[in-house]
């Protein structure tokens, strides 16, 4: 019973098949292959936009390289304190940008707000040589708290960003889950709402190791290709990375998988909701739940074989835990977890 993360399960059957097919014969290396070209074309269709798309093998690389391209070394990137780029990437955005600063802005449910961004920007004086200069805003969709920005919320942030000359980056490690929740088109959820660059996630949603940086404006690509090479993310046998993303996109496997993991999270929430002592920290929009439980219950669940992460230390005899459903989580595990929680 593993709810620790959506990257704990393996790859979708379609991705394994595509990997096998990509293995046939020889192909040009370093992204010059037919599958990578096909992926670029499919991404353009998917987003209804001419895109510049670059596969990489981790979400950290996608975020750090995208942000480094948008930001000078003396720049600032505004993000939420829960953002993966500041909390869980070991300084990769700062490293790859040669020292740009991540500036924090608060907001409920893991989401930035225009008011909080404005507040953060107030502390940075444009043109003052002593201050880092605002360059970008980064939002995560779905957020690290399992919530999703509504389109109007993204619009409000992108409007502010544009009015201040900032670029908007979206960390979409769980973009598919957000889209499954919002029920809108990929175009509406990104460039039409003012997103400039997207880190498109595949790994959490059925790939082995495949993400892509998607630029909606070719002018922003600048030196990205050199940055990707220097970081070691220009994979020589790129066809295998591209094949994974193609397998997810063609046939809408990515949305099927995301709908399933979101639905499992809803089932879990429904089953846990009426148990005494259970409290949800955030609305459950996507595939992650943050649940406060009595420590005794947490210990019993673990003793019974349930795996999940504590999201902070115990406070007042209760611990906030994170439960993440994956595209491959067995339904029986969701039912089993609910049963265990009830009896615990
Ligand atoms: C929101 C978010 N962004 C980015 C990443 C980075 O992915 P990776 O572990 O592949 O570097 C993760 C992984 O947990 C994530 O949750």
Q: Which of 11, 56, 60 to mutate to test the pocket of ligand 1 (most atoms within 8 A of CB)?
A: 60
Decide whether any atom of ligand 1 lies within 6 Å of the 322 Cβ. no
Q: Specify the pLDDT at position 344.
A: 86
Task: Quote the pLDDT of residue 261.
Answer: 98
Q: Is the CB of 171 under 6 A from ligand 1?
A: yes
Atom of ligand 1 nearest to the CA of 144: 1
| Residues of the chain scoring pLDDT < 50 | none
Integer Cα distance of 265 and 245 in angstroms: 24
Query: Is 140 close to ligand 1, i.e. is its CB under 6 Å away?
Result: yes
Task: Output the CA 258–ligand 1 centroid distance in Å.
Answer: 16
Q: Is the CB of 203 under 6 A from ligand 1?
A: yes
Q: Which atom of ligand 1 is nearest to the CA of 140?
A: 1
SS (H, E, C) the chain: CECCCCCCCCCCHHHHHHHHHHCCCCCCCCCCCHHHHHHHHHHHHHHCCCCEEEEECCHHHHHHHHHHHHCCCCEEEEECCCCHHHHCCCCHHHHHCCCCEEEECCCHHHCCCHHHHHHHHHCCCCCCCCCCEEEEEEEECCCCCCCCCCHHHHHHHHHHHHHCCCEEEEEECCHHHHHHHHCCCHHHHCHHHCCCEEEEECHHHCCCCCEEEEECCHHHCCCHHHHHHHCCCCCCCHHHHHHHHHHHHCCCHHHHHHHHHHHHHHHHHHHHHCCCCCEECCCCCCCEEEEEEEHHHHHHHHHCCCECEECCCCECCEEEEEEECCCCCCHHHHHHHHHHHHHC
Q: Is 110 in the pocket of ligand 1 (CB under 6 A)?
A: no
**Measured between alpha carbons, how far is 321 from 344 in angstroms, rounded to an integer?**
15
- For ligand 1, pick from 62, 80, 147, 173 the residue to mutate: most ligand atoms within 8 Å of CB: 173
Q: Which residues of 112-151 are buried (b: 16+ CB within 10 A; e: fewer)?
A: bbbebbeebbeeeeeeeeeebbbbbbbbbbbbbbbbbbee
Model confidence over 85-125: pLDDT tens digits?
A: 999 999 999 999 999 999 999 999 999 999 999 999 999 99
Whole-Å CA distances, 293 to 264, 307, 335, 337, 343:
20, 15, 18, 13, 13
Question: Mean pLDDT score of the chain, rounded to an integer?
Answer: 97
Residues 6+ apart with CB under 8 A from 206: 11, 12, 14, 15, 248, 253, 254, 257, 327, 328
- List Cβ neighbours of 18 (8 Å cut-off, separation of 6 or more): 243, 244, 246, 247
Distance from the alpha carbon of residue 138 to the mean position of ligand 1, in angstroms: 14
pTM of the shown model: 0.98
CA of 212 to the centre of ligand 1 (A): 12
pLDDT at 209: 97
CA of 13 to the centre of ligand 1 (A): 22
Atom of ligand 1 nearest to the CA of 57: 10
């Amino acid at each position: 019973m593993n709810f620790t993360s959506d990257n704990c399960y393996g790859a979708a059957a379609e991705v394994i098949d595509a990997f096998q097919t990509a293995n046939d014969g020889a192909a040009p290396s370093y992204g010059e292959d037919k599958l990578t070209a096909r992926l670029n074309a499919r991404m353009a269709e998917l987003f209804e936009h001419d895109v510049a798309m670059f596969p990489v093998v981790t979400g950290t690389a996608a975020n750090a390289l995208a942000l480094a391209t948008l930001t000078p070394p003396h720049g600032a990137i505004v993000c939420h304190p829960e953002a993966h780029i500041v909390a869980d990437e070991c300084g990769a955005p700062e490293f790859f940008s040669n020292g740009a600063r991540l500036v924090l802005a608060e907001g409920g449910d893991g989401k930035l707000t225009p008011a909080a961004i404005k507040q953060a920007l107030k502390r940075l004086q444009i043109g003052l040589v002593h201050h880092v200069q605002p360059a970008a805003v980064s939002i995560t969709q779905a957020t690290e708290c399992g919530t999703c920005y509504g389109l109007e919320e993204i619009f409000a942030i992108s409007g502010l960003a544009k009015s201040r000359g900032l670029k908007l980056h979206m960390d979409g490690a769980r973009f598919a889950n957000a889209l499954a929740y919002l029920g809108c088109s990929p175009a509406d959820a990104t460039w039409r709402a003012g997103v400039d660059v997207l880190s498109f996630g595949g790994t959490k949603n059925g790939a082995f190791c495949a993400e892509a940086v998607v630029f909606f404006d070719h002018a922003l690509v600048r030196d990205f290709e050199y940055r990707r090479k220097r970081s070691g993310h220009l994979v020589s046998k790129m066809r295998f990375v591209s094949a994974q993303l193609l397998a997810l996109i063609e046939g809408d496997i990515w949305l099927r998988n995301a709908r399933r993991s979101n639905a499992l999270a809803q089932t879990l929430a429904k089953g846990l909701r009426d148990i005494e002592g259970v409290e949800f920290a955030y609305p459950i929009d996507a595939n992650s739940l943050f649940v406060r439980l009595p420590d005794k219950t947490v210990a019993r669940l673990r003793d019974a074989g349930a795996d999940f992460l504590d999201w902070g230390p115990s406070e007042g005899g209760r611990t906030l835990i994170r439960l993440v459903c994956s595209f491959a989580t067995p339904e029986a595990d969701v039912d089993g977890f609910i049963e265990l929680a009830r009896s615990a």
